[in-house]
């Protein structure tokens, strides 16, 4: 259970980073779009020429920021630079101008990553819209994303060891009944075939314990049958052996050949019965070894 946790933790951090980037970008993208729309209101046409109605104080205020730099650029419908930052990259060439629609992209200016919001203005000629762009460096975005990531990662450094501890305690508590069941089984005598008590066993191993009890019941029945057979065989073997001994004693005392022959015949019959009983015992031993079914006795 610890392995999945350790594998999911880096995945969780990666997802947190992606989500943090999205959360950090949304408010700054809205602010950047607002700056673009505000600048669009300051684009005027005088005597057929474009210019920004932007005084120096407003221009300095637009550029001033604690950690990020803000750039803007105005390009006329012929692609000629009008005002702002001349080095600001142009939009992708495969994008068709669409007046009034605000788009955003990631770009690089002087080696710094910037977020650019841009749109086309249908002035002075709607057939040749002018391009207005506002770019902002990504310092504050990165700072906010890092703060979000730290806010999520630091609790995880506490939560993960705590989760590991709770999982360990839960497993120890869950395995304790299994350990108790193991001790109970180990403490049983070899000849104890009584069923295992199912009162205090875990629910997960209840079918297993039930199967073991069924096996013990069948084994007990089999052993009982074998003991009964052995007792009967011993009784049946005792009778012909006693007859053999008696006939042998009589044969030793018999002087008549006919009587001696009769005693020997009795000894032969008694030995045949004893041999049959011994063969049954041997068949039982072989059946216990190989697991085959015993043939019916005759």
Give the pLDDT confidence score for residue 117 in this predicted structure. 93
Q: Pick the more confident residue, 197 or 86.
A: 86
249 half-sphere exposure, CB direction, 13 A CA radius: 5
pLDDT score of 18 more than 90: no
CA distance 266 to 34: 125
Give me the mean pLDDT over the 93-119 stretch. Answer: 89
Pairing of strands 49-52, 70-75: unpaired
**Of 283 and 93, which is predicted with more confidence?**
93
User: Which has more confidence, 297 or 86?
Assistant: 86
Euclidean distance between CA atoms 209 and 198, whole angstroms = 7
Q: How many CB atoms lie within 10 A of CB 45?
A: 13
Give 129-152 pLDDT, tens digit per residue.
889 999 999 888 888 888 888 887
Under the banding of pLDDT at 50, 70 and 90, the label for residue 61 is low
* pLDDT of amino acid 272: 79
For residue 66, name the pLDDT band (cuts at 50, 70, 90). low
Condensed to tens digits (0 to 9), the pLDDT of residues 219-268 reads 888 888 878 877 777 776 677 677 777 777 777 776 677 777 777 777 77
Q: In 3D, which of 128, 124, 106 has the Cα closest to residue 115?
A: 106
Q: Is the dihedral of CA 12, 15, 17, 23 positive or negative?
A: negative
Mean pLDDT, residues 106-128: 87
The pLDDT of residue 285 is above 70: no
Q: Quick one: average pLDDT of 63-88?
A: 82
Which H/E stretch holds residue 284? helix 257-290
**Cβ contact 31:190 at 8 Å:** no
CA angle (182 as vertex; 176, 186 as ends), nearest 5 = 145
Structure tokens at 265: 């015949």
The pLDDT of residue 43: 82
Q: Which structural domains are found in the chain, ordered by start?
A: 2-147 (3.30.450), 203-290 (1.10.287.130)
Residue 236 or 191, more confident? 191
Nearest residue to 155 via CA among 25, 6, 4, 9: 9
Largest Cα span, the chain: 164
Categorize the per-residue pLDDT at 297 as very low, low, confident or very high, splitting at 50, 70 and 90.
Answer: very low
In 3D, which of 184, 191, 199, 198 has the Cα closest to residue 216?
191
């Amino acid at each position: 259970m610890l392995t999945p946790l350790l594998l999911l933790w880096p995945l969780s951090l990666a997802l947190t980073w992606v989500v943090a980037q999205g959360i950090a970008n949304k408010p700054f993208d809205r602010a950047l779009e607002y700056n673009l729309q505000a600048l669009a209101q300051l684009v005027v046409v005088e005597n057929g020429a474009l210019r920004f109605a932007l005084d120096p104080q407003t221009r300095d205020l637009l550029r001033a920021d604690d950690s990020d730099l803000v750039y803007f650029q105005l390009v006329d419908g012929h692609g000629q630079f009008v005002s702002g930052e001349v080095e600001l990259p142009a939009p992708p060439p495969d994008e068709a101008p669409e007046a009034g629609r605000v788009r955003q992209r990631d770009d690089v200016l002087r080696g710094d990553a910037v977020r650019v919001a841009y749109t086309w203005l249908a002035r002075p000629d709607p057939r040749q819209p002018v391009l207005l762009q506002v770019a902002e460096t990504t310092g504050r975005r990165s700072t906010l994303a890092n703060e979000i990531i730290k806010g999520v990662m630091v609790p995880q450094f506490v939560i993960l060891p705590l989760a590991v501890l709770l999982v360990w305690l839960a497993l120890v508590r869950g395995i304790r009944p299994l350990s108790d069941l193991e001790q109970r089984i180990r403490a049983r005598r070899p000849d104890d075939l009584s069923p295992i008590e199912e009162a205090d066993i875990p629910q997960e191993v209840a079918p297993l314990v039930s199967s073991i009890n069924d096996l013990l019941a069948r084994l007990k029945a089999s052993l009982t049958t074998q003991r009964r057979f052995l007792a009967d065989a011993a009784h049946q073997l005792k009778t012909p052996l006693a007859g053999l001994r008696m006939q042998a004693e009589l044969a030793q005392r018999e002087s008549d050949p006919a009587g001696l022959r009769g005693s020997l015949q009795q000894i032969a019959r008694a030995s045949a019965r004893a041999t049959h009983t011994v063969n049954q015992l041997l068949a039982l031993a072989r059946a216990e070894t190989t697991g085959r079914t015993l043939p019916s006795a005759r």
